[in-house]
Amino acid sequence: MKFNPKARLDRSQMRKRGRGGSSGGGGFQMPSGRGSGRGMPIPMGGGVVGLILVIVLFLVVTRFGSDLSGGSDTSQNAGTTDEGGQTTCESGADANERRECALLATVNSVQDYWGDALPDQGDVDYEQAQWQDFSGTLSTGCGQASSATGPFYCPVDKGVYLDQSFFDDMLEGQLGAKGGDFAESYVVAHEYGHHVQDLLGTLSKYQSRETGPTSPSVRIELQADCYAGLWAQAATTTKDSNGEVFITDITQTDIGEAIDAATAVGDDKIQRQTSGRVNPEQWTHGSAEERVRWFMTGFDSGRLDDCDTFSTDHL
């Protein structure tokens, strides 16, 4: 995966939020499925990880999750941020050198794609969602979150939250994925897929605590995988405000990295890894095979309508 050195990055699409101290707040609810429609709306799917901790807590603690200690959030003003908490990443050249800049370039690319594709194929205007790059604990419109939560989308404040340590500690660490730039781009694109679902009304329509291999929560996550595939197919055509493409090259090796990541976060694989057995009735995100297949469905098709996971019996 290569970024165009001439591409200019839109830094307004990303905010860095630093480590907060514990304040014993109300906590971040970790559900077994999606939101219940009652009380505080639930963040959508640490998509790729499926809020990985959900699986672990589901198996180890209790069916309906637990609370994580809350905390205040602060702007991180050191190193790669300016005084306003924005990244210093400016170009595709920076993206080729630094993970943070590569993630921002991916966010810019994903949002440029949906800016055209959503009104064209979904007859809905696209509204940008800011990427919140955080560490420690922080407050969100969906409650308190911590680094242990994994990547997620909050429909209340329409923000995508991601702690970069997830890639090293969880995706490549505990889950054993090979990693790579495009594996990380898949994570980002999946989370923005939840934002697209929010704009289309899918999230509010299919909120449910139901689990299982054909549950609404699984269908939501597989559709977000498919949406990630849609972007991947068109990624090299996305452009900055000056008409420069963000990404100049995506190879079969890159697609293999995304497939490897999708495999690593399948419910069956995580269950087998954490408990030694597979129980489909507790699935919230779909099997490894399903996650790969729906990502590739989007990648091969390029059509929003082909990502309809709610009108099929074959997930």
pLDDT at residue 124, rounded to an integer: 97
State the DSSP code for 56: H
pLDDT at residue 57, rounded to an integer: 33
> Which residue ranges make up each domain of the chain?
2-307
Instruction: Name the pairing type of β-strands 143-146 and 137-140.
Output: antiparallel
Q: Which amino acid is at 225?
A: D
The two structure tokens encoding residue 65: 């999750």
The model carries a pTM of 0.83
The two structure tokens encoding residue 7: 């591409």
pLDDT at residue 25, rounded to an integer: 24
Looking at the chain, the number of H-run helices and the number of E-run strands are 10, 11
pLDDT at residue 150, rounded to an integer: 84
The two structure tokens encoding residue 230: 């849609």
Q: Divide the 315 residues of the chain into consecutive groups of 10 and give the mean pLDDT of each group.
A: 97 80 26 34 51 36 27 38 69 96 97 98 97 89 84 94 88 88 96 98 92 96 98 98 97 96 95 93 96 98 98 92
pLDDT at residue 97, rounded to an integer: 96
**Residue among 53, 41, 57 at smallest CA distance from 159:** 41
CA torsion sign for 289, 292, 264, 155 is negative
